[in-house]
Amino acid sequence: MTKMCSVPSIESTSIQPSVSGTESSGHGGVFAFAWEDASESASGKMSAHGHSRVMRNVAVIYNPASGQHSLRRASDMQQVFAALADEGIQVHALETDSPGSAARHAEDAIRLGCDAVFACGGDGTVHEVMQCMVGTQIALGVIPMGTANALAQDLGLGRSPLKALRALLAATPTQVPVGRIHFVDKAGVQNARYFIVAAGIGADALLMSRLDAGLKRRLGYALYLVEAARVWLTNPFPLFKAIFALESDTPERVEEVSQLLAVRVRSFGGVLGQLAPGATLHNGTLRLLAFKTRSRYRYLRFLLAVLTGQHTFTGAVEILDAASVTCRHRNGSDAPIYVEADGEVLGTIPACIEVAPQKLTLLIPAHARP
């Protein structure tokens, strides 16, 4: 039997889809696939671009502040809407205007009985949209338009929004496991979030907490590099306790670490590439990187090896699989240790990471090998 998170009272924070699965729609309800089998379609019609018309009603949730180039982003969105219109697909265009609005739009899309929801933005937009979609069979499609597009890169969608849309229209809806992280939020309340790219505790979350949204739009990926150097120079890399639940018949393992990363994607794309060999969206367990060191030199050496694709895992940096991992302060320590998921800073430890019992229906292109 798989061991689950052992954070006290954690059951009360489990996330559930916010729309009832019994709610009926014109497409069979939220827990029934709304896909129309083109081979059984009465009309048998094909779209202008050769795709079977298996989607009839979609929501497009887009973040006007995502990415660096607002004029290009506006042009990209016009092309996306035009392409969907060419396919004869009904579109609900939903623009985000504040933190949390993407999640509310996703809930609206489920209530509208949409066949699919397209999240246009970066990993942060995808993270917000997916929260109410886990456990439903409404398909999520990812259109890359953000600063960081790790999930889109892992799915082989490239960086062109229009080309990504073309691939998604011919993609297969596939249920994939997702991670779930329990944490203490800024109000001091236990909370939980799903994640699909990665969740981190320690130095990487500290880095994310220092990113200014305005500078991120202006400088893009360069800001990550600047802040990473700042964290490396100034962070004392405080240790915290990580308790790993392995196989059901294996005793728990306890380590002191300064950074823990749970990776769901095979490849981040860009300079990070395959940071955690063996990670995949289809994993039913966690693939974890544990940094058991406070040494700046060892961090730097590992990072340089990652950049050249030659990183290995030794005593200081270990890669391992686990059913769950619980993170707590060391005895006598109360320094804030930050928690992030999919690049979004969530709160602090104590925290627990696991694979959620519910799955996400994701549009995966035929050529992808996530």
pLDDT in tens, 229-242: 788 888 899 999 99
Question: What pLDDT sits at residue 207?
Answer: 87
Question: What pLDDT sits at residue 68?
Answer: 52
What residue ranges do the domains of the chain occupy?
13-177, 178-358
CA angle centred on 129, ends 51 and 107, rounded to 5°: 95
Q: What are the φ/ψ torsions at residue 301 (nearest 5 degrees)?
A: -60, -40
Give 300's Cβ-side CA count (13 Å radius): 9
Other C-beta atoms closer than 10 Å to the C-beta of 224 total 19
pLDDT in tens, 251-285: 899 999 999 999 999 999 877 878 999 999 999 99
Instruction: Name 198's bridge partners.
Output: 263
* 146's tokens: 């953000």
User: What's the predicted TM-score (pTM) here?
Assistant: 0.84
The 8-class DSSP code of residue 26 comes to: T
Q: Residues 320, 323, 329, 335: what is their CA dihedral angle, to the nearest 10 degrees?
A: 70
Q: Which amino acid, residue 62?
A: Y
The 8-class DSSP code of residue 297 comes to: H
- Residue 9 clears pLDDT 80, i.e. is over it: no
pLDDT in tens, 43-88: 334 344 444 446 899 999 997 766 555 677 888 999 999 999 999 9
Question: What pLDDT sits at residue 315?
Answer: 83
Quick one: what percent of the chain has pLDDT higher than 70?
Answer: 80
Question: What pLDDT sits at residue 322?
Answer: 97
Question: What pLDDT sits at residue 27?
Answer: 30
- Residue 112 clears pLDDT 70, i.e. is over it: yes
CATH C-level class of 178-358? mainly beta
What 3-state DSSP class applies to 355? strand
Task: For residue 258, give the nearest of 296, 283, 211, 292 by alpha carbon.
Answer: 292
What is the average pLDDT value for the chain, to the nearest integer? Answer: 83
CB 248 within 8 A of CB 4: no
In this prediction, residue 216 has a pLDDT band, given cuts at 50, 70 and 90, of low
CATH number assigned to the domain covering 13-177: 3.40.50.10330
CA angle centred on 99, ends 105 and 104, rounded to 5°: 20
In this prediction, residue 226 has a pLDDT band, given cuts at 50, 70 and 90, of confident
Average pLDDT for 244-250: 83
DSSP class per residue in 89-152: -EEEEEE--STTHHHHHHHHHHHTT-SEEEEEESHHHHHHHHTTTTTS-PEEEEEE-SS--HHH
**Region of poorest pLDDT, from 16-30, 41-55, 321-335:** 16-30
d(CA 204, CA 199): 9
CB 171 within 8 A of CB 364: yes
- Residue 210 clears pLDDT 90, i.e. is over it: no
pLDDT in tens, 144-187: 998 779 999 999 999 999 999 999 999 999 999 999 999 999 99
pLDDT in tens, 113-139: 999 999 999 999 999 999 999 999 999
